[in-house]
Amino acid sequence: MQQERQQGWIATRGRPLRGELTVPGDKSVSHRAIMLASLADGVSRIDGFLEGEDARATEAIFRQLGVRIETPEPGMRVVHGVGIDGLQPSPQPLDCGNAGTAMRLLAGLLAGQRFDSVLVGDASLSRRPMRRVTEPLAQMGARIETAPDGRPPLRIHASNGLQATEFHLEIASAQVKSALLLAGLYATGETVVREPQPTRDYSERMLAAFGWPIAFSPGIARLSGGHRLRATDVSVPADFSSAAFFLVAATLVPESELCLRRVGMNPRRIGLLHVLRAMGADIVEENAGEQGGEPVADLRVRSAPLRGIAVPREYVADMIDEFPALFVAAACAEGTTTVRGAAELRVKESDRIATVATGLRALGIRVDETPDGATIQGGRLRGGAVGSHGDHRVAMAFAVAAQCAADAVTIDDVANVATSFPGFDTLAREAGFGLQETSPSLP
């Protein structure tokens, strides 16, 4: 039986990266803006909404739950909120696609509803563990059934009333924290979440922007149930995780100078920036300001030689989505880079430690894995074939690696890049990447 080939890329050395780029809107902010605007009283406008598959999956789910959402133009949404208790049950399962953020946050939000819900996802998401969300939610009284091994689908039963709890998380995770805080909107009493290391605070900032009383500081957040959300307008900054690939590429490709416009600079999101600078990168912040309640800045990056370092553990949680890009930077650096404390990479869209390590070895780089990280010996990248395992960030990271490789790099299974960065290949070619698409076809 013939099988359809997966969409792929052939990436080669391009030219020095030049000019100004604006990457798509922040995925984390886009998810949360749709969620809270839907639960608010009144009409909210969202500008800069990410037109990627993950964020649009969240949008489609809230339409299923009875929320009217208009699209006056690409990147803009007008959300007619139904109020904190106004969601309606869906007779069909709620499809999160590849969006792990959507599934985990919705598990908390839907745990407090007076109706049953079923959350499903694509093949990749259906392999990802959900117990670290469902188990703490169960402590609040949520009733959620999973498939074997705690994986999706999630069958969320109608709430009999949630009770606020104080949580001391063992693993730092913004998604778990956010799920518990969203459940806390519907709980009796005060929900407190304490983290072993501070994680990104998008949910806390946005809850405050929508008028919910919440107290938070690095490593702790607390809120009580029984309040209301009020409609507000949200301006979504450019996604730092998407900008990361161009920050690394422009650093590595000689004679490059790029300016990335209005990038979100949430302090809990820019760990990669600190680490790249420690490795020798030349990245300057310009025109700092605020957008949608989030700090933003233009980032000007010029090519510079990198040296390997031991990545400080305090930055790990603040760059968990940027490690594929960092691993490529480490592969091109002089000396050895070590990463520890990043066990969460094992349960992302792919096992990112194993997937990136395997790909880098195929390109001639020595990588030694550990359960929570890796040791990468910088060297000269050769050409070859690598697998992304359907992981959007891995696919883009290897496109960056190819800009420094001696020969062409073939990257398979890149369709999921559209989940977070629609149009990446077009923008990359405009900046100077050598990147061609291989169309799916029958062998």
Task: Establish whether the linkage from the previous residue to 153 is cis, with ω within 30° of 0.
Answer: yes
Rounded CA separation 159/107 (Å): 12
Helix, strand or coil, per DSSP, at residue 264: strand
54 is catalytic: no
Handedness of CA 196, 200, 201, 203 (dihedral sign): negative
Q: CA-to-CA distance for 331 and 328, rounded, in angstroms?
A: 5
Q: Is 288 exposed, middle or buried (0-12, 13-18, 19+ CB in 10 A)?
A: exposed
User: φ, ψ for residue 398 (rounded to 5)?
Assistant: -75, -25
The CA distance from 359 to 386, in Å, is: 5
Q: 105: which DSSP letter?
A: H
Residue in the block written with tokens 């992304």: 388
Residue 388 is classified by DSSP as -
Q: Helix and strand tally (H, E) in the chain? A: 12, 25
CA neighbours within 13 Å on the CB side: how many for 53?
A: 16
Q: Check 122, 321, 412, 413 and give the catalytic one.
A: 321
CB 340 within 8 A of CB 370: yes
Give the catalytic positions in this structure: 321
